Structure 1
Amino acid sequence: MKKILILVLSVLMMLSVVACSSTTDNNSSASSTTFTGTSSGMQGPITVEMTVEDGKITNVELTEFNETASLTSVAVDRIPAQMVEYQTTTVDVVTGATFTSNAIMRAATEAAVAAGLDKETLNANAYHATAADDETWSTEIVVIGGGGAGLSAAISAAQEGAEVILIEKGSVLGGNTMMAGGAYNAVDTIAQSETILTEAQKHTLDSYLKLSTSDEKLHFEEFPEWANVLTQLQTDIKNYYTANEGKTAGVDMPGFDSISLHMWHIYVGGLRQMNDGEWIASNIELATTLAENSLESYDWAGELGVGTASKEGAGETLYTVLGAMWPRTHSYTAGQPLIDVLKTAAEKAGVTIYTETAGTTLLTEDGKVVGVIAEKADGTKITIDTSVGVIIASGGYCANPAMVKEYDEYWGDDLSATTLTTNVGTNEGDGISMAMDIGAATVDLGVAQMMPSSSPLKGTMTDAIWSDASEQIWIDGNGKRFVNEYAERDVLAKA
């Protein structure tokens, strides 16, 4: 009897140990068991629960998942389903969600090992999509890139009556706009008039009046076209003071902004000395276009259905996003809701959209770009002929740290070939490289913006310091303030 009791206790102990790594569904046969595996994703652990029946994978479910849903939705839907269909834990990664895709596969492999599935068989069943026959498409305009810029360009072209195809490398639309924090800088004098100019802002305006176009530190010898901007700014400030004579900053003096002030911030914000001693500054024509049209573009987005707030009644919503230098920052509906609005507007305007379709080569004829060769995620080659042209809106190159380091002329040893980024993973400089391959000139590749408030561990903005510059004081380990919080982002980063 004692031996039987010991045997029963031993069996119970064995069952309790097994239960730590798997569970049996009481409503199914004894051979139907679930097993779990966990791996590290971008935003935390990813746990996979795998159901195995008679040695076959019948279900794969993500029971712990903290990744950005808007960027990983395709991976979440596709990868578990393919694991069941092909009886493997190795499938194609989803473009734009590479880190997440690999984490799901690692977690699933751990669960499969716990289930006792044969690793050789799983590896032999590895699924990789195969290319279909080459295709040729024709349209008037192709837009390469489905982020905010690409969608906006496609919508604008279609609204003007053009036939437009938009191709996006990633599995979802959004690009880097999906990562943006909903901050948009635009001169809005009506909204500014509803605010009160602070004493600090008054001090800044006074300092601008003391500047001289002959000051060598302003580098007008190298960039004489910008001298008129300072002259216009000083005139605007004087007129503003005259119009508000007798009023006091911080009490009853209304807020101030102007095109010239925005342009001045663009100039001083972009005036930098490179490692070789050369100075660079923003292109004044582009700066003018930006400063003069920002509010109109913001309101255009609002007309499409994006949540915006400008002009009358918007004064209390203005703030200074980190690095903006002045409280002209407007909020807007960001993230997936923004992309949903732009996608809907694009489709309504007649734009044809293809995701997981990457531009690879620009086609030229007699010195003119006449199309693009693209490739689907499965390797299918697409030739797209255009009768009007190609718009490259594929973002920058900061998710390609090796490329950033290769062209860097500013950060030096502060930058490495493995520096983390706040960008989405698809921002690898594809469009820049395509253009360079056909001889296009480039501007300012030597300066990539560094985000001073991003996470030092993951590069993301969601795990770091992020708020109005007026609400921050940057101090060192000794409690001493070491930088002007209203300074440009590269100044903050270098500090």
Structure 2
Amino acid sequence: MKKSRIPTLLLSIVMLLSLAACGQESKSASGPSGEYSTSAKGFGGDVNVTVTLENGVIVAVTAEGPSETAGVGSNAIDQLPDAIVAAGNADVDGVSGATMTSNAIKTAVKKALNEARGTEQEAFDGYTEGTYTGTAQGNNGPLKVEVTVSKDKIESVEVVSNNETALLSVPALERIPSEIVEHQTLTLDAVSGATVTSNAIIAATKNAVLQAGGNMAYLDANAYAPEAGDPIEKDAEVVVVGAGGAGLSAAVTALQNGASVILIEKNATLGGNTLQSGCGWCSVNPEVQGKVETKAGQIETLQSYLELKPADYPAVADVLEVLQGQIRDYLAGDTTYMFDSVELFIFQTYIMGTRTGLDGTTITGNVDLIKTMCTQSEDARQWIYSFDIDEFRNYNTPIGGPWHRSREPQKNETGKNGLPMLQALETYLLNNGAEIMYETRATDLITKKGAVTGVLAKKTDGTPVTLHAKKAVILCTGGYGANSEMVFKHNNYWKDLPDDLLTTNCKTSTGDGITMAEKIGAQLTGMGFVQLMPTSSPVTGDTFKSMIEPYDFIFVDPTGNRFINEMAEGRDTLSAAALSVGSYFYVIMDQQMIDNGNYDQSWYDAKVDAGILVKADTLEELAKKIDVDYNALQKTLNNYNAAVKSGVDSLGKTEMVHTCEVGPFYACPRRPAIHYTMGGITINSNAQVLDTDGNVIKGLYAAGETTGGIHAGNRCGGNAVADIFVFGRIAGKNAASLKK
């Protein structure tokens, strides 16, 4: 592991703020001293906390939560105490993916402080009546609230502006303001899957309340956490765990094949990482692709495949032989329009997934799984159209993709391409008798005589849930990109992987399904291989959101120089190069690239206002704003523009469309983040889970990123969505057809 400059800078800022906070709280040398122990309810049970004070200043915090989830809640147990000591109070951010445990620690610390300082019953003189505004940083920019108070209480909290993620943020935007008013406290559980938004609302409200003369100790004393309800027990023929693309398609297909279905999701909304992604979907459709003009470099790539010897690729020799015949036929005819075939799709997926680990072992994709995905991907996309989804946009080559075969859903005002199709699947389920249980986290599989017969789960309020599956359980819980402990434990690919890497994933992508399956003897594969997304935010981990087409990418390092062919094959190649230049790099754009981008101008303007994009009328002004040498940047763009016009790039980029010379100019700071985990549960082409001996575990299926084997050591851009919908449908159909 290695550390980067960005966290050091952020830590310096945090320390300064912490010192200021500590200074405020330590003005009185007569504060209480001693150890104070309290507890609060976490995810698995009570979390016990001991706070040590010296003259009223927090000098130590210890936390214990033996029932909290290893690698998730345990991260909060390990990290939050030090953060609280540094801040001098419990008003710190929780640990992503461990909301309930984080809140339990913070609540217990506040109770201990109240006990020590005698403020639990402290008199409250009242607010200064009126309406106040407060602002805090959300996921994608500032979040603003208006808080109205009377003398005795907070009367209303309204979020008046925000840039939060559509759908994912809605439960937090609705629930947190209501709970603040109902319980007269700012110590609340964040909404599962919307932690950052929840905390932003609370922080903005605190800002406003302090303006009104609010007493934080008084509000802390009203700390609220919902109580667990009576145990829930239900049964269905098929139980699906996870409501991302894989889970929704599995549940719908099971329902279409006559099974009763219960779908559970630990977040408060559907979508998971499918919603987070740009939803690029690779598939082969010669009828449509045959009308797309051949792209630069494609002919040369095809010619290079003719030089390969099938005997050197024994696992896909039959595929390569067929492919070479197709290529010869194509090259002998009119090459004006693009070539593609299922065989090319299979071969590229296989060779691009082949990687060698740090231990010297080589990993390759499971050919049966690859063939299944590639041959059925277009059928799955046509199936999506049956839910009244608009025709996907034109083909493109996604970052880390080898060919021009990815299509994305139509743009919408939310910026979330996959939202309409996910909502359509959810609507189908609800209209046809399926049950969906949100904020319900699966913890264990129920087994009987070696077969899986159900799922144990828990609601976010602690209510236990038992679900019996008369036919099968389908695991679609996603990968483990937000579980850093699991990533570093298994890493077998990345040298000196920075220990502070963020993730593009939902913060609840913690490998739950993998852990549950492994407990009952399921075989895992490829766990050491994690993909980084090179174009992620250095602050939040958020992806580039396809701001512009990948062929227009211009990557420059902090010195203003390009450092990689931006269309190089493999996201790991791009990420390794990006990490080598430091803690960040910039994507440079001009107005014509923006005009050719995927959103209207107002969308980009909002990103400028939120600080995600830097905009300047001239290149010199832009260089100054981002602290890059102007002459170096100008030379870089002059060379790039010349390469666009000549078609010859010194770094080997072949697909270039626009020059970068029309102001205004834009820069977007980027840094690699954990994006996709190739490893997971071993399945066969029927989506059945295999045990460590290679035998089928009866009654258990899996699909999507929770599985391994398809992508081996590197996932091609656009293949994840193909994977989840192909194998989600296979799992749903086969689970519904299972005889028990």
Q: TM-score, normalised by structure 2?
A: 0.58
Indicate which of 426, 429, 439 corresponds to 2:511.
Answer: 429
Q: CA separation of 1:480/1:135 partners in 2, compared to 1, >3 Å: closer, same or farther?
A: closer
CA contact (8 A) 2:553 2:566 kept: no
CA contact (8 A) 1:159 1:349 kept: no
SS in structure 1 of the partner of residue 204 of structure 2: helix
Give the Å deviation of 1:478: 6.7
Residue in 1 that maps onto 2:36: none
SS in structure 1 of the partner of residue 281 of structure 2: strand
In structure 1, how many angstroms separate the alpha carbons of the residues matched to 2:555 and 2:187?
47
1:54-79 CA-to-partner distances (Å, cap 9, x unmatched) read: 22110111233221132110011011
Residue in 2 that maps onto 1:62: 159
Question: In angstroms, what is the RMSD of aligned CA positions?
Answer: 2.0
CA contact (8 A) 2:409 2:418 kept: no
Deviates more, 1:478-487 or 1:197-206: 478-487
Give the Å deviation of 1:127: 1.2
Partner letter of residue 139 of structure 2?
M
Q: CA separation of 1:484/1:107 partners in 2, compared to 1, >3 Å: closer, same or farther?
A: closer
Q: CA separation of 1:58/1:345 partners in 2, compared to 1, >3 Å: closer, same or farther?
A: same
Indicate which of 196, 213, 226 corresponds to 1:99.
Answer: 196
Q: CA separation of 1:117/1:412 partners in 2, compared to 1, >3 Å: closer, same or farther?
A: same
Partner letter of residue 318 of structure 1?
Y
Gaps of 5+ in 1: 1-29
SS in structure 2 of the partner of residue 71 of structure 1: coil
Paired residues for 1:245-284 under 5 Å = 247=334, 249=335, 253-284=336-367
Residue in 1 that maps onto 2:294: 197
CA contact (8 A) 2:504 2:541 kept: yes
1:318 aligns with 2:395: yes
SS in structure 2 of the partner of residue 42 of structure 1: coil
Q: CA separation of 1:42/1:51 partners in 2, compared to 1, >3 Å: closer, same or farther?
A: same
Indicate which of 566, 570, 575 corresponds to 1:493.
Answer: 575
Q: CA separation of 1:77/1:278 partners in 2, compared to 1, >3 Å: closer, same or farther?
A: same
Partner letter of residue 366 of structure 1?
K
Give the Å deviation of 1:393: 0.5
Deviates more, 1:357-366 or 1:403-412: 403-412
In structure 2, how many angstroms separate the alpha carbons of the residues matched to 1:158 and 1:115?
54
Paired residues for 1:23-422 under 5 Å = 32-215=129-312, 220=313, 224-242=314-332, 244=333, 247=334, 249=335, 253-309=336-392, 317-333=394-410, 334-416=417-499, 418-422=500-504
Give the Å deviation of 1:341: 1.1
Residue in 2 that maps onto 1:454: 536
Indicate which of 461, 472, 479 corresponds to 2:553.
Answer: 472
Deviates more, 1:275-284 or 1:478-487: 478-487
SS in structure 1 of the partner of residue 569 of structure 2: coil
1:30-57 CA-to-partner distances (Å, cap 9, x unmatched) read: 9631223332222222233211112211
Q: TM-score, normalised by structure 1?
A: 0.85
Answer with 1 or 2: which has the greater Rg. Answer: 1
Deviates more, 1:282-291 or 1:447-456: 447-456
In structure 2, how many angstroms separate the alpha carbons of the residues matched to 1:350 and 1:241?
53
In structure 2, how many angstroms separate the alpha carbons of the residues matched to 1:229 and 1:467?
34
Partner letter of residue 239 of structure 1?
D
Deviates more, 1:473-482 or 1:184-193: 473-482
Q: CA separation of 1:322/1:467 partners in 2, compared to 1, >3 Å: closer, same or farther?
A: farther
1:174-221 CA-to-partner distances (Å, cap 9, x unmatched) read: 111111213110011111211222452111100110112355xxxx4x
Partner letter of residue 420 of structure 1?
L
Gaps of 5+ in 2: 1-126, 411-416, 578-740
In structure 2, how many angstroms separate the alpha carbons of the residues matched to 1:468 and 1:69?
22
CA contact (8 A) 2:353 2:365 kept: yes
Deviates more, 1:369-378 or 1:59-68: 59-68
SS in structure 1 of the partner of residue 246 of structure 2: helix
In structure 1, how many angstroms separate the alpha carbons of the residues matched to 2:349 and 2:301?
16
Partner letter of residue 445 of structure 2?
L
Deviates more, 1:473-482 or 1:270-279: 473-482
In structure 1, how many angstroms separate the alpha carbons of the residues matched to 2:525 and 2:207?
48
Q: CA separation of 1:203/1:150 partners in 2, compared to 1, >3 Å: closer, same or farther?
A: same
Give the Å deviation of 1:484: 5.9
Residue in 2 that maps onto 1:14: none
Give the Å deviation of 1:481: 5.6
CA contact (8 A) 2:265 2:439 kept: yes
1:383-438 CA-to-partner distances (Å, cap 9, x unmatched) read: 0011101000111110222221111111131342x311111112111111111121
In structure 2, how many angstroms separate the alpha carbons of the residues matched to 1:173 and 1:240?
44
CA contact (8 A) 1:453 1:466 kept: no
Q: CA separation of 1:285/1:489 partners in 2, compared to 1, >3 Å: closer, same or farther?
A: same
In structure 2, how many angstroms separate the alpha carbons of the residues matched to 1:115 and 1:106?
14
Give the Å deviation of 1:228: 2.4
In structure 1, how many angstroms separate the alpha carbons of the residues matched to 2:305 and 2:555?
24
SS in structure 1 of the partner of residue 159 of structure 2: strand
Give the Å deviation of 1:365: 0.7
CA contact (8 A) 1:322 1:466 kept: no
Q: CA separation of 1:354/1:233 partners in 2, compared to 1, >3 Å: closer, same or farther?
A: same
CA contact (8 A) 1:321 1:467 kept: no
Deviates more, 1:123-132 or 1:195-204: 195-204
Partner letter of residue 533 of structure 2?
M
SS in structure 2 of the partner of residue 69 of structure 1: coil
Deviates more, 1:137-146 or 1:477-486: 477-486
Q: CA separation of 1:87/1:469 partners in 2, compared to 1, >3 Å: closer, same or farther?
A: closer
In structure 2, how many angstroms separate the alpha carbons of the residues matched to 1:480 and 1:85?
54
In structure 2, how many angstroms separate the alpha carbons of the residues matched to 1:318 and 1:69?
25
Partner letter of residue 78 of structure 1?
R
In structure 2, how many angstroms separate the alpha carbons of the residues matched to 1:176 and 1:289?
22
Partner letter of residue 575 of structure 2?
A
Q: CA separation of 1:480/1:340 partners in 2, compared to 1, >3 Å: closer, same or farther?
A: closer
Q: CA separation of 1:468/1:282 partners in 2, compared to 1, >3 Å: closer, same or farther?
A: farther
1:434-479 CA-to-partner distances (Å, cap 9, x unmatched) read: 111212111111111111122222211147x754443335566574
Partner letter of residue 450 of structure 1?
L
Give the Å deviation of 1:233: 1.5
CA contact (8 A) 1:299 1:308 kept: no
Partner letter of residue 70 of structure 1?
L
SS in structure 1 of the partner of residue 535 of structure 2: coil
In structure 2, how many angstroms separate the alpha carbons of the residues matched to 1:264 and 1:71?
37
Give the Å deviation of 1:306: 2.2
Residue in 2 that maps onto 1:20: none
Query: What is the percent sequence identity of the aligned residues?
Result: 40
Give the Å deviation of 1:169: 0.4
SS in structure 2 of the partner of residue 325 of structure 1: coil
In structure 1, how many angstroms separate the alpha carbons of the residues matched to 2:382 and 2:441?
31
